[in-house]
Structure 1
Amino acid sequence: MKIGFIGLGIMGTPMAAHLAAAEHTVRGYDVVPEAVDKLVAAGGSAAKSVADAVDGAEVVITMLPNHPQVEQVVLGEGGVLESAKPGALLVDMSTIRPETSIEVAKVAAEKDIRVLDAPVSGGEAGAKQASLSIMVGGEDWDFAAAKPLLEAMGKTIVHVGPHGAGQVVKAANQLVVGGIYALVGEAIVLMEGCGVDAGTGLDVLAGGLAANRILDLKRESMVARRFEPGFRIDLHHKDMGIAMAAARQADVSLPMTGLVTQLVAAARAMGHGSLDHSALLKVTEQLSGRA
């Protein structure tokens, strides 16, 4: 298929590269020229603008940081909806507010452009390994059309409901991930504070009922205090805000989510926004006087 891909960050670039490797024609655009160069090296081609990337595309994929960028790229002058041909399918894989996804789908329908919200989980590693979990909101037939493309980028691909539902599930994902990181960090501080080797202790936890993907993937780097970003604190801060806003809109109480939101905000305020979200450990250390 002919695909326009907009947003070639640390996740977008490998995702677009997987599509090119699957023999789709991928034309990519990003505000950072070096990111476009990486896609070209992986078999894609370079676009000079959003409109250039979208021109003639059957499918447009966006992978952007937040809702202002999605609104600008999709709804703005020279954007996706202005440039895409009627009948094209827009798959927004950004993590944004559900209400933005719903509004984009509404405006797009007026232009005969189909839309899916399809945020992802798995971080940079999942993007590179094409093992992302992809939660999709939109119409059944549009999901069926997009699924072969999504299968080139992920392993768990589920249609979770109507427009905006993908973003709600992603918010739920992020509150769980944030909570687990916070608790693993506390477990490390507890064990070290009691004179127990945290690496050995986490090996035991990873084999019992406390087992989880974060222990599988990040326990060694957390104990070693290596926080190179696979997914930055800054982005998780944004995502926790989405979760809290969704809770307010749904009129439900999420007390643990509120606490984790504050811990993530504290990490950001401490200057750790550019670090991996496993750096929540540093907040617990600071609170315990062990920084």
Structure 2
Amino acid sequence: MVGGSPADVADASVFIEAWSKKVVHCGAVGAGDATKSINNVLNSAHLLLATEGMLALKKYGVQPSTALEAINGGSGMSLQTTRLPDNVLSRKFAYGFALGLMRKDCKIAGGLVASQTPSATLIPRVVDLLGEAEAAFGPDADYTQIAQLLEDRAGVTLG
């Protein structure tokens, strides 16, 4: 996700391709960062939604591993529902991306959304939850620990 003039992006692509499998020119300078921030807030939102759903199902009597087996074969599957078993149900919380960095990106997304869509409610809530998780677990915790914030509130663990 890059931004800049077409000529600048073409010149930089030689270097960017050394560490990135895919390069998408998103528009003017800043557009790549803006797109990355929205990507990461969607990532976090999906994890929060999946966790909230699994908590409700567990309280209803459905084991999260069973629910995820069904969901991951259906239309509700997302990258996050496929990560839940390895990172949340296992209690590892070790995907490898720091909560503080995720919150930073999501705050950028929150600012973008607030400036472009002042009536937005969902993305600001995700940003707030990331802030609460960072306060609880620290900036170096894995971002998947945002699931633990919801578990703590529900009084139930998924693993």
TM over 0.5: yes
Are the counterparts in 1 of residues 3 and 32 from structure 2 also a CA contact under 8 Å?
yes
Are the counterparts in 1 of residues 38 and 106 from structure 2 also a CA contact under 8 Å?
no
Instruction: Identify the residue that residue 42 of structure 2 maps to in structure 1.
Output: 176
Are the counterparts in 1 of residues 99 and 134 from structure 2 also a CA contact under 8 Å?
yes
TM-score, with length taken from structure 1: 0.50
Tell whether 2:127 aligns with 1:261.
Answer: yes
Q: Distance in 1 between matches of 2:111 and 2:11?
A: 31
Give a deviation string over 1:197-256, Cα, whole Å, max 9, x none. 211211221121112222234433211121125111111121221112222333533210
Are the counterparts in 2 of residues 188 and 223 from structure 1 also a CA contact under 8 Å?
no
TM-score, with length taken from structure 2: 0.88
* Cα 1:201–1:289 shift into 2, 3 Å: same
Aligned to 1:174, the other structure's residue is in SS state helix
Of 54, 58, 74, which aligns to 1:208?
74
* Cα 1:272–1:183 shift into 2, 3 Å: farther
Superposed, which structure 2 residues align to 1:144-183 within 5 Å? 144-183=10-49
Q: Distance in 2 between matches of 1:218 and 1:240?
A: 20
Tell whether 2:148 aligns with 1:276.
Answer: no
Of 215, 218, 221, which aligns to 2:87?
221
* Cα 1:290–1:216 shift into 2, 3 Å: closer
For 2:127, give the aligned amino acid. Answer: T
Aligned to 2:42, the other structure's residue is in SS state helix
Superposed, which structure 2 residues align to 1:69-88 within 5 Å? none
For 1:156, give the aligned amino acid. Answer: K
Are the counterparts in 1 of residues 87 and 95 from structure 2 also a CA contact under 8 Å?
no
Equivalent residue pairs, number = 157
Give ranges in structure 2 of 5+ residues lacking alignment.
none
* More divergent stretch after superposition (159-168 vs 145-154): 145-154
- RMSD, aligned CA: 1.8
Tell whether 2:124 aligns with 1:234.
Answer: no
The structure whose residues are more often strand, as a share, is: 1
Give ranges in structure 1 of 5+ residues lacking alignment.
1-134
Aligned to 2:23, the other structure's residue is in SS state strand
Instruction: Identify the residue that residue 53 of structure 2 maps to in structure 1.
Output: 187
For 1:259, give the aligned amino acid. Answer: R
The structure whose residues are more often helix, as a share, is: 2
Percentage of matched positions with identical amino acids: 27
Q: Distance in 2 between matches of 1:271 and 1:216?
A: 23
Larger RCO (alpha carbons 8 Å, 6+ apart): 2
Of 111, 128, 139, which aligns to 2:5?
139
For 1:169, give the aligned amino acid. Answer: T
For 1:198, give the aligned amino acid. Answer: P
* More divergent stretch after superposition (146-155 vs 199-208): 146-155
Tell whether 2:64 aligns with 1:198.
Answer: yes
Of 111, 118, 124, which aligns to 1:252?
118
Structure with the greater alpha carbon radius of gyration: 1
Q: Which 4+ residue blocks in structure 1 deviate beyond 6 angstroms? A: none
Residue 277 of structure 1 deviates from its aligned partner by 1.4
Q: Distance in 1 between matches of 2:39 and 2:109?
A: 9
Q: Distance in 2 between matches of 1:247 and 1:196?
A: 36
